[in-house]
Amino acid sequence: MATESNGAAFSRRDFLQQLQGWGGTALMMAGMDALGFGIASAATAPPDLTGGGGGKKVIVLGTGVAGLTSAYELSSAGYDVTVLEARDRVGGRSYTARKGTKLTELGGEPQVCDFDEGYYINPGPWRIPYSHRGYLHYAKKFKVGLELFNNENEHAYIKFDKGTGPLAGRPVRKQEITADTRGYANEILAKQVRQGALDAEFAPGDKELFLDYLRSEGYLTKDDFKYIGTDGRGMDENPGAGLDPGKPSTPHKLTDILHSQTWRTLQSVGSLDMQHTMFEPIGGMDQLPAGFVRNLKPVIRLGHVVEKISQTPEQVTVAFTGPDGQKGTVTGDYCVCTIPLSVLRGIDLDVTPEFKEAITGVSYALVCKIGLQMKTRFWEDNHQIYGGHVYVDDPGVNVISLPSTGWLGEKGVVLGFYPQGAAAARVSAMSLAGRRDYALWVGQKVFPEYTESNDGSFSIAWHRVPFNMGGWAQWTEEGRAKYYPKLLEPQGRLYLAGEHLSYITGWQEGGIESAWSQISKLHKRAMATA
């Protein structure tokens, strides 16, 4: 980090780690904010672009949510906006694959999505946290319908093969692991407290309240603080009508849970971007881009691949190859470029060597997904699992996610794998059929109906997708310090924007808020020189 020069000094990193140790992530984040990391500076509304920039001309490159946000806000404010998009569709990674969707990865076979009419997978972003207020702002503004995305399902399975003992290698309901792990943990802690081992921790009156909490949290027995199970872990027989009170289940042994490793799925509270309430757009992730397009004044020029960005002190020129192969240029007062850095590094740019180096200073995530269309919704009909994730410890799959749409319907599309990093490199090296067979091979070990139900698939390896070359920007601490600030500042008349220029990387919210931040800077300058 740039500020670390004295070995004896207490570095910012040390400080933050200490804060995390003392007070958890919340205190660390407050500390980060105080140190200027800006993590708590999330915007909640578009910038005020009053004045309209005197009709100045802005070229927007890319039509992911960052490009669409920039184009919409600038054109609404009175700028003369031209939008270039390399693909024959808008949306970038905000993408939905449905019947007929075509994709050919670099070095890959041509693929046409073979789902039935009305079924789809979101191969890129797929869930919208409640804290992503920029996304929700535009969803509301453009009347893009949302539905709940079930990001946590207690009744779903955990199937971990790498652990040992009787709970390894077989599907176990998450509710059993949650109830038993917490029950035993609270029982053990209660025992210590009641024996007086932790008296030094308590102020007068705290101890009884703390014990009340442990009993409530762990479903412990009233008088002797034992964990003997609870209905929430599931019943051997559910209660029914008349004389049928049901039959309680028996907890697993603590040692079996510990050695199965399944407890690794438990957290006291979901991380900030993974909590309830989570949304998804009704009809697919491409619905917000469609909402922008319905409300956008400028016509988007599709099939325009940027070849070069050059500039003079007065203007910026973008050279492109058009849809029919002809070359052309467009010139404006400013350019907002939302092309991912993984792609931008290969484009001829009129920028300083330092800026060029900064563009190459970040790596992009290797990440794969596959949608598997299933003939029946066996996870609902036979397993009573409605949405949510099945966790597996095969890094080539990570999660099997059940759809949060089309409940109780005929068919459904399951997310069959979501590997990242080195595991994604491996999955993406398989043929399309090989990827499908691999996903089915893993899923079959959880659901006996899996393979025979499959009747369609669509897979993607984002690091091999032209015009993306990766899932999202992955800044290191060093890159954040050395390169990131450079890219936030304009190069002449060129402004960069996108999820890569945010602390919300890999989320659409990062693209939207980055666009807000950058066009706000552009507007201030345009107004100052108008």
Partner 1 sequence: MRRLAASITGFGALFGAVALSSAAQAQTAGATLFAQNCSACHQLTGLGIHGAFPALAGDPFVVGDPTKPAYVLLHGRGGMPNFSEDLSDADIAAILSYVRSSWGNHAPPLDAALVASVRGGGAAPPKERSVLPGH
110-169 residues in contact with partner 1 (CB under 8 A) are: 125
396 binds partner 1 (CB under 8 A): yes
Residue from the set 506, 516, 518, 522 that interacts with partner 1 by CB under 8 A: 506
Selected from 122, 428, 453, 518, the binder of partner 1 by CB under 8 A is 428
Q: Given phi > 0 = left and psi -120 to 50 = alpha, else beta, which region is 50?
A: beta
Site stretch for partner 1 (CB under 8 A), options 138-146, 212-220, 374-382, 423-431 = 423-431
| Residue 274 found at the interface with partner 1 (CB under 8 A) | yes
Q: Site size for partner 1, by CB under 8 A?
A: 49
Cα distance between residue 462 and residue 485, in whole Å? 26
- Within 8 A by CB and 6+ apart from 91, the residues are 63, 64, 65, 285, 286, 289, 290
Q: What is the 3-state secondary structure (H, E, C) of 424-471?
A: HHHHHCCCHHHHHHHHHHHHHCCCCCHHHHEEEEEEEEHHHCCCCCCC
Stretch in the footprint of partner 1 (CB under 8 A) among 22-30, 283-291, 393-401, 522-530 = 393-401
CA pair distance 465, 11, nearest whole angstrom:
40
Decide if residue 20 touches partner 1 (CB under 8 A): no
Q: Single out the segment in contact with partner 1 by CB under 8 A; choices: 7-15, 131-139, 416-424, 487-495.
A: 416-424
Tell me how far apart the alpha carbons of residues 105 and 13 are, in angstroms, rounded to a whole number.
39
One residue of 2, 8, 88, 107 binding partner 1 per CB under 8 A: 107
Q: Under a CB-based contact definition with an 8 Å cutoff, are residues 362 and 500 in contact?
A: yes
Contact between 434 and partner 1 by CB under 8 A: the answer reads yes
Residues 6+ apart with CB under 8 A from 44: 133, 134, 137
Residue 423 is a binding residue for partner 1 (CB under 8 A): yes
262 preceded by cis ω (within 30°)?
A: no
The Cα–Cα gap between 158 and 203 comes to 40
Under the criterion CB under 8 A, does residue 386 sit at the interface with partner 1?
Answer: no
User: Residue 479's closest CA among 368, 346, 344, 341?
Assistant: 341
Nearest to 160, CA basis, from 170, 150, 152, 151: 170
Q: Which is nearer to partner 1, 209 or 274 (CB)?
A: 274
Contact with partner 1 (CB under 8 A) among 106, 198, 209, 530: 106
Nearer CB in complex with partner 1: 91/492: 91
Query: Terminal CA-to-CA distance of the chain, rounded, Å?
Result: 39
Site string for partner 1, 451-480 (x = CB under 8 A): ----------x-xx----xxxx--------
Query: Which of 441, 480, 482, 488: binder of partner 1 (CB under 8 A)?
Result: 441
Residues that bind partner 1 (CB under 8 A): 106-107, 125, 264-265, 267, 271, 273-274, 342, 346, 360, 363-364, 366-367, 391, 393-396, 398-399, 418, 420-426, 428-431, 434, 437-438, 441-442, 461, 463-464, 469-472, 506-507
